Structure 1
Amino acid sequence: MTLPTSPACTERTEVRRTAAHRAHLSPSGAAGVEHSVAVIGAGIAGLGMGARLKRAGRDDFVILERAADLGGTWRDNVYPGVACDIPSRLYSYSFRPAHPWSRVFAPGAEILAYLHDTARAEGLEPHLRLNEPLEHASWDETSGCWRLTTPRGELAVRALVMAAGRLSEPKTPRIDGLDTFPGRAFHSARWDDRPLDGLRVGVVGTGASAVQLLPEVAEHAASVTVFQRSAAWVLPRGDHAVAPGDDEPDRAELAAEAERLFDARIAGSPALDALRHRADEHRAAQVADPALRTALTPDYEIGCKRAVFSDDYFATFARPNVALEPSALTAVAGGTVIAASGATYELDVLIFATGFETTRPPFARLVTGRDGQTLAEHWQDGMVSHASTVVNGFPNLFVLDAPNAALGHTSAFEIIEAQLDYVLGALDHVDATGEALDVSSEAEAAYSAEIDRLASRTVWTRGGCSSWYLDEASGRLTLLWPARVADFRERYATFDPAPFARVPASSGAAVS
């Protein structure tokens, strides 16, 4: 539905239009100043949104970032061995592809440097407000604006873009007695960089972060015990250094190759069988001990959980200082930790590589839409949306990289950039009509039904596992887009006003 916009917000937009044709407009950053757009988060999605706004001549925007630096997950995750598991050339903006990557799979520090370079080159620094977390955002029906509250005060914006991501809030399991542990206990995304030399270390988890950090930790610790709740499907990485001038595939080739991997996400497909065989061969080649190999073999279908990539994870278990505990960590009693199997270990350090709050993003509690409903309340049965970007009851709100916007077979940049196109088209429509946009509940329900239909054929719902892709309450696939990126781009990269029914200010009845 489209809603009338206040004269104040309309006037502010006219100022932006005029200034965009005259000269660069740098917002003052003072509390209370209105902007046409506020972007929440300065990670991949937020910086991408800012860059595209600038390139479209839209200078009147602000990017609010709660941390002291930009970079999102690549700022927060600095554990040893952190790197991308997507080829570097594909893990970048299509409009800024050139970068001197040192390896096929870029180390985290290089990705962070790339994001800093992007902010500078795209002129985003004047728009960034660091150390300024969003405390609350509420839709003002009367003025047709979003009212934002931060520690610096309040500001009003015409459109709100949530780019807080899905890997921003570390998730640590509740462990009985953890508060009695006398040593160091921390999440991999909050890395404690004090030395581990000579210490007895426990690594809790076997996902992507654990697979990357284990070989590095094992180089220094006196002993490492890996607590495995469920075994991971591990595929060979094939990483190597890239020298200047090396003949590497370009971004388009890599994107096409990655897109074909979606075939291996269809339950019962020959491509899935081939992927499983490849992983089995990799495990067999690197784990000589039959009992250990069996313990490291998953009991669910490959791809049901996020498959991980490593050339040295399995080999690390051959080290004399590394042991596998094939059950979860369940309790702590002082320096003694207790596994579900009943085994006990004396440890000095606990590293939780246990993932993030994904299906229930904490930012949803901060956003209040029409009728006083928070986004978290709207999503109480799982995240829903239309086009993975707009949500009924939340006018002029655009959510990036959240409901069904992640990808299980290729680079996150691919779908984020399609969402950026959609948002820019929506903003053009708002400018042209002077009305706010609220997608209809019918469109949202239809999109959710389409997601369920597409998901029903995939290994993510039929692979026999529980994963962070699925909502814990409804069991629905709420994180991933369950089809090819090309399908999403064709249907949802271009803004379509049809799902937005018009509603006059004096009535809730739709106008035909």
Structure 2
Amino acid sequence: MTHPRVAILGAGFGGLCMGIRLRRAGIGSFTIFEKAGGVGGTWRDNTYPGAGCDIPSHLYSFSFEKYSSWTRRYPRQPEILAYLERCADKYGLRPHLRLNTEITAMRYAGGVWRLTTASGEEHVADVVVSGVGQLNRPRLPDIPGVESFRGPWFHSARWDHGADLTCRRVAVIGTGSSAAQFIPEIAGVAERVLVFQRTPNWVIPKPDAAFGWPLRLAFHYLPPLQRAYRSYIYRRSENVLFPVLVNGWSARLVRRMALKHLEEQVPDPELRRRLTPGYPPGCKRIVIDSTIYPALSRPDVDLITEKIGRVTPAGVETVDGRLHEADVIVYATGFDTTGFLMPIEVTGRDGRDLHAQWSRGAEAYLGMAAPGFPNLFFLYGPNTNLGHNSIVFMLECQTRYVLGCVRELAARGARSMEVRPEAMAAWSGALSAALARTVWESGCQSWYKTRSGRVTNNWPARTTLYRRLTAAPNPRAYSFRT
């Protein structure tokens, strides 16, 4: 049995997991293309002060490579990156890596995919698996004058460690999860921190703490204990956090928890008022943090809720005409999350343009396959992001499914498999019905949606359902060509 040649795009959690799946299945005919100089994806890129994950450590890891040496309940960026480096070494992925190799175009022709790099090289593959993720292209706000600022300015995902913030006035635009992590780190270092908030976030406590050495030893030498702890975290997320997203029993519980957290940590009633959201919990990503409220309550931190009018050479001007002078501007404004696979040019069968096909919003069968694009699979694709659990779980489901597709191609001696339009249509209908029941449709703006308001990022059901749906490829959903 001859296995197809597989090209994997990206060396983050998804790309590495796909490579490990193939290696463990005895398939060595794959290459992992990574545009950067090392593995890690978002955990290589995001090095801002305090960078970490809001998913508990023991759940934010592969089920087949549990990491018993996590030092904290919630992992920090250096530990996550070290974990991924370790996985690349342990599972023999280094020989399959092509670092500093950015894929700029892919074209399906003659029964194969032809991949073009930024340097003009061409690589040929039978199957392409995209693991570029949703959080890899920083987005700057559409504010006039961004380029005119005379001091250092940068996005939090591309932190300028050469910019000294000591005793300087730092403007932070954005108050999401990343800002909640780095604002407490720079407050007290900077002379003053000006935080510009467009919409307040629901914030619940983050019960973070270091694991003591006895517990770490127990996790290391008693694998059943680690499995039980991981299972507890997973089931709590499914049974307590997921109902919030569908206006279930725990929505009021989480709301009360967040309001109590706000009241306990912010003594100023006026500041509390400005930090209280006016939309249901879960409509935007919930911030899990216990340090941002005390930071915003500091006398040297200002929360500014007036809308920004423009950026000037001297600082940030709000629509009321007031100039807020600053020496440094940090944009914590998230990522371009709905432009899946951008800016790669993707041309499928009969010259189809993937981005034109997705002009009204990206969609894919099971989040992994699109009609007209044979042998192309997406990891962390449309509608597979989670608002309540670990994305690593979803990636494991997807890589297992893609491995099944690779085996199906080899077993049939087929050149290609392509999802049928009728299967795609049935999937889209079921997905739309499920999304209509979620809190994301309640009217707030978030990175889960396109500008037209279509939810293209999130999975609207429990992860247990996704695991069942992706247990194995259904050949009837695909057309095969030999």
TM-score > 0.5, shorter chain as reference: yes
Query: In the alignment, is residue 446 of structure 1 matched against residue 432 of structure 2?
Result: no
Q: Cα deviations across residues 296-349 of structure 1 (Å, max 9, x unaligned)?
A: 111111100000111110011221110000134330221131124443211000
Measure the CA separation in 2 of the matches of 1:453 and 1:492: 19
Measure the CA separation in 2 of the matches of 1:503 and 1:434: 9
**How many Å apart are 1:451 and its aligned residue?**
1.1
Return the letter of the residue paired with 2:420: S
Alignment gaps of 5+ in structure 1:
1-12, 17-34, 505-512
- 213, 219, 229: which one pairs with 2:198? 229
Query: In the alignment, is residue 477 of structure 1 matched against residue 455 of structure 2?
Result: yes
Counterpart residue number, 2:180: 211
Q: Cα deviations across residues 248-286 of structure 1 (Å, max 9, x unaligned)?
A: 76222211111112111112x231111111000000101
Identical counterparts, % of pairs: 42
Query: In the alignment, is residue 105 of structure 1 matched against residue 85 of structure 2?
Result: no
Counterpart residue number, 2:94: 125
Counterpart residue number, 1:25: none
Alignment of 1:226-305 (within 5 A): 226-246=195-215, 250-260=229-239, 261-267=241-247, 269-305=248-284
Query: In the alignment, is residue 89 of structure 1 matched against residue 89 of structure 2?
Result: no
Measure the CA separation in 2 of the matches of 1:210 and 1:71: 21
Return the letter of the residue paired with 1:172: L
Measure the CA separation in 2 of the matches of 1:428 and 1:245: 44
Secondary structure of 2:306's counterpart equals coil
Secondary structure of 2:475's counterpart equals coil
Secondary structure of 2:350's counterpart equals helix
**How many Å apart are 1:66 and its aligned residue?**
0.3
Using a 3 Å threshold, how does the CA distance of structure 1 residues 372 and 188 change in structure 2: closer, same or farther?
same
Query: In the alignment, is residue 198 of structure 1 matched against residue 177 of structure 2?
Result: no
Measure the CA separation in 2 of the matches of 1:327 and 1:45: 39
Aligned residues of 2:193 and 2:302 also touching (Cα < 8 A):
yes
Using a 3 Å threshold, how does the CA distance of structure 1 residues 62 and 152 change in structure 2: closer, same or farther?
farther
Aligned residues of 1:204 and 1:329 also touching (Cα < 8 A):
no
Return the letter of the residue paired with 1:355: G
Secondary structure of 1:245's counterpart equals helix
Return the letter of the residue paired with 2:131: A
Counterpart residue number, 1:459: 439
Secondary structure of 1:53's counterpart equals helix
Secondary structure of 2:310's counterpart equals strand
Measure the CA separation in 1 of the matches of 2:96 and 2:242: 37
Measure the CA separation in 1 of the matches of 2:113 and 2:425: 25
Return the letter of the residue paired with 1:262: F
- 116, 133, 139: which one pairs with 1:149? 116
Secondary structure of 2:153's counterpart equals strand
Measure the CA separation in 2 of the matches of 1:428 and 1:367: 24
Counterpart residue number, 2:43: 74
Return the letter of the residue paired with 1:483: A
Return the letter of the residue paired with 1:383: A
**How many Å apart are 1:206 and its aligned residue?**
0.8
Aligned residues of 1:201 and 1:223 also touching (Cα < 8 A):
yes
Measure the CA separation in 1 of the matches of 2:285 and 2:21: 30
Aligned residues of 2:137 and 2:335 also touching (Cα < 8 A):
yes
**How many Å apart are 1:38 and its aligned residue?**
0.4
Secondary structure of 1:450's counterpart equals helix
Counterpart residue number, 1:498: 476
Secondary structure of 2:138's counterpart equals coil
**How many Å apart are 1:70 and its aligned residue?**
0.9
Using a 3 Å threshold, how does the CA distance of structure 1 residues 160 and 503 change in structure 2: closer, same or farther?
closer
Alignment of 1:303-314 (within 5 A): 303-314=282-293
Measure the CA separation in 1 of the matches of 2:12 and 2:254: 32
Measure the CA separation in 2 of the matches of 1:39 and 1:132: 12
Return the letter of the residue paired with 1:277: R
Counterpart residue number, 2:398: 419
The aligned length equals: 468
Following TM superposition, where does structure 1 have runs of at least 4 consecutive aligned residues deviating by more than 4 angstroms? Answer: none
Query: In the alignment, is residue 315 of structure 1 matched against residue 283 of structure 2?
Result: no
Return the letter of the residue paired with 1:481: W
Return the letter of the residue paired with 1:478: T
Secondary structure of 1:501's counterpart equals strand
